[in-house]
């Protein structure tokens, strides 16, 4: 995490460094990222960089905290349209609201996605705690859906969590990659066509898990 010297910098200088790091990770990932380019593009000396961070991974870890902080602040003012939504309706709302957040911070999300998913670090030991927080939330959601009679009780909870996690990550990556091609990513995400596409992708996942009348009494 950043040293006190970085946190004591003027906001504009901190932002210059962070924006340079975001651009670097979005373009090159973590493995091929260059500290020299971050230094050059942020207008600081290399010596100063090491007064602020241990290395490029330290910068990336800080970006994760920035993303988490911004996401918490963003969701603080968001509320589901109905208090009577079922589990899948709530999950759909979370995904779509998450897409809007991603479109509000496209470069930051793209940088982190490239490293976490493009380089596979999300599934590695270094970021196990990050993934665990996600899977805990999904596990609680599935268990509640089973209790509500919305998901077949014979469904393997861990397998269902893996499906939801993989599906949501795939949708996020698809929307982000397509959205970055648009002139106005927020307008594109909110468009009827994009919202319908998200619904169709979520439909495939939902009805692989949802308990329906035709499934009553069946065992898998």
Is the pLDDT assigned to residue 145 strictly greater than 60? Answer: yes
Phi-psi region of 218 (alpha: psi -120 to 50; beta: other; left: phi over 0): beta
Q: Assess contact for 152 and 215: CB atoms under 8 A.
A: yes
Please check whether residue 73 lies inside any domain of the structure.
no
Nearest to 18 by CA among 54, 45, 69, 53: 53
> Residue 168 is part of which domain span?
78-213
Same domain, 87 and 141: yes
Same domain, 110 and 17: no
| pLDDT (0 to 100) of residue 212 | 56
In this predicted model, what pLDDT tens digit does every residue of 26-41 receive, in sequence order?
999 999 999 999 999 9
Phi-psi region of 55 (alpha: psi -120 to 50; beta: other; left: phi over 0): beta
Please check whether residue 72 lies inside any domain of the structure.
no
Please check whether residue 70 lies inside any domain of the structure.
no
SS3 92: helix
In this predicted model, what pLDDT tens digit does every residue of 180-218 receive, in sequence order?
788 788 788 888 988 888 888 888 777 767 765 444 344
Domain count, the chain: 2
Same domain, 38 and 131: no
CA–CA gap between residue 108 and residue 26 (Å, rounded): 8
Same domain, 89 and 41: no
In this predicted model, what pLDDT tens digit does every residue of 151-175 receive, in sequence order?
888 888 998 888 888 888 888 888 8
| pLDDT (0 to 100) of residue 205 | 77
In this predicted model, what pLDDT tens digit does every residue of 33-82 receive, in sequence order?
999 999 999 999 999 999 999 999 999 999 999 998 998 898 888 888 87
């Amino acid at each position: 995490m950043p040293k006190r010297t970085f946190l004591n910098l003027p906001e504009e200088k901190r932002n210059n460094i962070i924006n340079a790091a975001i651009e670097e990770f979005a373009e090159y990932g973590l493995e091929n990222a260059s500290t020299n380019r971050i230094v050059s593009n942020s207008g600081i000396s290399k010596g100063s960089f090491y007064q602020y961070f241990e290395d490029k991974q330290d910068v990336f870890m800080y970006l994760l905290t920035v993303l988490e902080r911004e996401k918490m602040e963003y969701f603080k003012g968001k509320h589901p349209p109905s208090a009577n939504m079922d589990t899948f309706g709530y999950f759909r709302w979370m995904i779509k609201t998450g897409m809007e957040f991603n479109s509000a911070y496209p470069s930051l999300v793209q940088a982190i996605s490239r490293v976490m998913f493009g380089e596979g670090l999300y599934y590695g030991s270094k970021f196990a705690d990050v993934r665990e927080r996600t899977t805990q939330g999904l596990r609680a959601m599935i268990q509640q859906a089973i209790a509500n009679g919305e998901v077949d009780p014979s469904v393997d909870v861990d397998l269902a969590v893996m499906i939801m996690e993989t599906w949501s990550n795939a949708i996020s990556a698809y929307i982000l990659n397509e959205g970055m091609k648009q002139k106005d990513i927020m307008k594109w995400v909110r468009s009827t066509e994009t919202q319908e596409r998200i619904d169709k992708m979520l439909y495939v996942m939902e009805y692989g898990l949802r308990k329906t009348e035709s499934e009553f009494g069946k065992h898998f």
